[in-house]
Structure 1
């Protein structure tokens, strides 16, 4: 961005003087800091005009490079989709199918592994490419002999990156369709791009301030255009710091600060560079228009779905809340998520929660501080209460499980809302002749938490295709009496809450009881939570600790209302035996400890013919996701089955 100035000023180099309202455009010929002569207008020297043209070309190259980076993902996504369909069709005759598959699998084997500071090596590669593009565009075709040249370039880079940051933040992003990456999966790059934008803005401001100080032109900083720039700078600084400091500890405050500072910052930036001839205003207006359009779409949806809509609240054991919406929006699919608005809890806030069922639309929400904590307290005080509500969405992308022969679903804690939704939806879509198989693994901290998904367990066990699913449940804190029986009532060390069953509740409708009451309700429906078999765990204890910090995005599903016989318990003491059991379709088991997820994944993939496809979908704490990523990478082979990995966003 160029600094605007007015009044009578002088410059060095080939410049002369300028009177009236002027824009400091840059250097003179060779060495210099002023620019050409202009009266009541812009500094219009040949050097300034050339610098403007160069910066415009550089920014066009930046836009082309970013579009090219996105284009690579678009091409890879659709080429892999086409290749998968053709290579697994009965009439596949593509001569390049085998080489293409071998190359892509070799690359994916490396890129999906977890690396420090990033979800995967692929994420790190994208960030490195983005940083490299910025460095190349910023520091090439630039005359460093004049400080104002670099200051101006940094201003242009600020504007270009700001536009990209807004694009990445769009909830209704076109990339969700073009690349299967929805906004929450782009959040890592959004954060990096935001920090990069602020860095360029700081370099722009500092360099120009030093330049003006050397030229004895600091008086320009008190002009209204420069005051607007200073306000914009502090606004973007606050937005950046809020993302770094507040986001993890107080999300609601972060969101308000982040959003407010963005609006103030972009408005002041537009006032700072309001001349259409400079073209930066066009970039800023493009960013603002994208943001406004996205907000308008979201508000429009929320208003539309608010008509004659309500949410019914039921408290669950261990701090959970079941939310049942009256209306079911179109395109609602289990596994995706909605932003839920309940004004009686928080009038000006919407929060994302995963869909686990659509008949009716249901969410199960784990309570933490803020909105989810207030929601749970209200549900406890008023079980079965109906509140005015609305939703915005659905959002999220993931592979269609119907396109795979074996589906491995792994969840930790409330991440099961994602996997339960996928599993139940998949069973309902299967045909009688389907040969698909499902491996379902769920780990919870306490036995009581199993009752959150009673209806789901019932559906998975009694569905016509229940023989095609292998269900394994794990409890990391398994209280057992001296006689070896499950202790019916154990509170979390930091939880002294008690729960009472609503008199109007039924199985899965309002399970608000302590463990004995839950088990009575389950007994009336002829379903029992099994005792726990002890199991040697191999995952790190960090997974259990991470579950304590999990955010509730998650949900429950309605089922066909069939009754279930007692769930049998299988005892296993070795990871290899456990892996073998995974392939035996039968009644589920509850095991004390944590699963050896890596062994289970390897066993599931290795037992699949090379002509078939395997989907591994997981949602849980970072430790579990790391194990899942690394284990999946180890089983991707050129001569093995096609393996697809999807790690669902566990928290914001």
Structure 2
């Protein structure tokens, strides 16, 4: 084997380019990768700008003439854009498989759209990794065939380290420009780390193969300490990838977060020592992303909890949180006089040191912010389902203080998240299970207050027990009554999927008791302006039940709103979404918040329904936008 020219620098320093044969090309490859990242960011920012302009245009058309359907395309350009959007949605939305086992649920395949994104990313990575690196025996640099691949893999790996760290932060340039919230980028963060782990394996394995062939392994490890730091960085990266698997995160989330942050810090230190000075800029960039994120979050926390921007002069540290236990192991946490605003669907990070020191957890805000100009504060409400850890401590504290004033000093960080703008759709379908209504109820309330282009809203809430109505039942009834004086039709259907031992239904002041063994579907009409209590049917089955679930989606003049409670098995997703979509005159938004099974079924059905109706393909059927939110990220 010809080993000429293989000095200490050329042979295995794993220093990413000590040979001038490779450095110029490899640095160019690294720059091109970030050119692509910037280009993708610019493209998504442009798409966001188009969506904002489209939303404003639709709302202006609504104010000019209330009889128009502003979400329908008006010209060939808007029709072309709508058709392209519909095709992309039909490709991206489906999620055909969803596993439900205690372990296999963490192996559920991604939606098709995410696989397409990964396919593009992997293709780019493979092209950058292998283009021009496979040498033929006739090449003048054939003696460096192992090093050439090793160096290229090193650059392909190190250039993606800042991307991994950027995608892990809550406050980052990508989210600011594109409007894609940090929690919706988390899956890319994990898959990028997994991909880099593979390119790192290529990096060290090609060098190691050369050392083995030259019988140079022991000498390399002895004379080049940076090699050991490289293997250490590989071990830390591998540990973060394995420990970041969903099963382990769910088992001990608090422990996962602490060790994940510590391991990431050690990884950057090891990389700083391992890579040469001219490649350390990628380590600095990673640190910059983290420093920006932590700096903004700390400053934001201080501003919130010291009330530095509040109109009042109160400087009480934090907020006073009132805990109240509800049925179904749920806690209602209420904070009055909150001196900041938020958008419906956003979340805050909550910390109560008295219960769990050094822990902070995200929860969706279940109320809307006061938007009146003369208002100085709002009431912030969180509906928290107790599982384990922090949420279980909250529930125990709420139960223990049932007879006393259950208040605690709380600290908030946020609001965070970019919820969907639903004001420019003609029809909106909101679908939630259990505490997922914390996300959809504020959206419903905001649209009733300011409908924009929205004319019809169908709200489905699936709960296991009638007692769970205490979470949002009064609020929903109030919203239905409020909608009657507005120009938007609101249809609320609460699906109770498990009978209580003895269930009283109020109808016109009379109590009708249904035993648990009676499996016939029950419908209780809570509020309906066009149906008196005497006219309302208490039970329904077959075609009658289908009609009730459709909730009379007619286009007759006048405004109708209702709230129905249906006692039956868990409804099929198709029966909840199809009716409103088929009756819509303009574009429909479907918002789903629930477990992975519900969101997967919704994704697949919306895509198939769009394809079935040939949306924006000459049939007159209008677009269907889908937004899904899950309990965990």
TM-score (norm 2): 0.79
Q: For the residues of structure 2 that align with 1:529 and 1:72, how far apart are their CA atoms?
A: 59
**Could you list the runs of 5+ residues in structure 2 that have no partner in the other structure?**
62-67, 98-107, 136-141, 307-315, 370-377, 523-531, 554-559
**1:261 corresponding residue in structure 2:** 263
Counterparts in 2 of 1:201 and 1:645: CA distance versus 1, 3 Å: same
**TM-superposed deviation, 1:480:** 4.5
**TM-superposed deviation, 1:425:** 2.0
C-alpha contact (below 8 Å) 1:340/1:390 kept by paired residues: yes
**1:58 corresponding residue in structure 2:** 29
**TM-superposed deviation, 1:130:** 1.0
**1:184 corresponding residue in structure 2:** 183
Cα deviation digits, residues 487-528 of structure 1 (max 9, x gap): 9xxxxxxxxxxxxxxxxxxxxxxxxxxxxxxx9xxx9xx999
**TM-superposed deviation, 1:290:** 0.2
Cα deviation digits, residues 17-55 of structure 1 (max 9, x gap): x6xxxxx345xxxxxx799xxxxxx9998xx11301111
**2:575 corresponding residue in structure 1:** 599
Q: For the residues of structure 1 that align with 2:257 and 2:572, how far apart are their CA atoms?
A: 38
Correspondence 1:419 to 2:440:
yes
Counterparts in 2 of 1:529 and 1:211: CA distance versus 1, 3 Å: farther
607, 611, 617: which is aligned to 2:591?
617
Counterparts in 2 of 1:14 and 1:416: CA distance versus 1, 3 Å: same
TM-score (norm 1): 0.77
Q: For the residues of structure 1 that align with 2:476 and 2:96, how far apart are their CA atoms?
A: 35
**TM-superposed deviation, 1:126:** 0.7
C-alpha contact (below 8 Å) 1:399/1:646 kept by paired residues: yes
**Could you list the runs of 5+ residues in structure 1 that have no partner in the other structure?**
1-10, 19-23, 27-32, 36-41, 488-518, 538-564
Correspondence 1:233 to 2:234:
yes
Identify which range, 570-579 or 301-310, moves more after superposition.
570-579
**2:335 corresponding residue in structure 1:** 325
**2:600 corresponding residue in structure 1:** 626
Correspondence 1:95 to 2:76:
yes
Correspondence 1:343 to 2:345:
no
Counterpart of 1:345 in 2: which secondary structure?
coil
Q: For the residues of structure 2 that align with 1:570 and 1:175, how far apart are their CA atoms?
A: 52
**TM-superposed deviation, 1:252:** 1.4
Q: For the residues of structure 2 that align with 1:416 and 1:229, how far apart are their CA atoms?
A: 48
**TM-superposed deviation, 1:294:** 0.2
46, 50, 67: which is aligned to 1:75?
46
C-alpha contact (below 8 Å) 1:170/1:294 kept by paired residues: yes
Identify which range, 566-575 or 330-339, moves more after superposition.
566-575
Cα deviation digits, residues 544-580 of structure 1 (max 9, x gap): xxxxxxxxxxxxxxxxxxxxx9997753323632443
Counterpart of 1:477 in 2: which secondary structure?
coil
Counterparts in 2 of 1:342 and 1:95: CA distance versus 1, 3 Å: same
**TM-superposed deviation, 1:167:** 1.6
Cα deviation digits, residues 241-272 of structure 1 (max 9, x gap): 11015113221121112111111111111122
Equivalences for 1:284-323 in 2 at 5 Å? 284-307=283-306, 308=316, 309-310=318-319, 311-323=321-333
**1:167 corresponding residue in structure 2:** 166
Counterparts in 2 of 1:328 and 1:534: CA distance versus 1, 3 Å: farther
Counterpart of 2:95 in 1: which secondary structure?
coil
Cα deviation digits, residues 594-631 of structure 1 (max 9, x gap): 2232123111011111xx23211110112211222223
Residue correspondences, number? 549
**2:410 corresponding residue in structure 1:** 389
**1:462 corresponding residue in structure 2:** 481
**TM-superposed deviation, 1:85:** 5.5
C-alpha contact (below 8 Å) 2:324/2:398 kept by paired residues: yes
Q: For the residues of structure 1 that align with 2:336 and 2:473, how far apart are their CA atoms?
A: 21
Counterpart of 2:133 in 1: which secondary structure?
coil
C-alpha contact (below 8 Å) 1:54/1:141 kept by paired residues: no
Counterpart of 2:457 in 1: which secondary structure?
strand
Q: For the residues of structure 2 that align with 1:191 and 1:235, how far apart are their CA atoms?
A: 14
**2:391 corresponding residue in structure 1:** 372
**TM-superposed deviation, 1:464:** 4.7
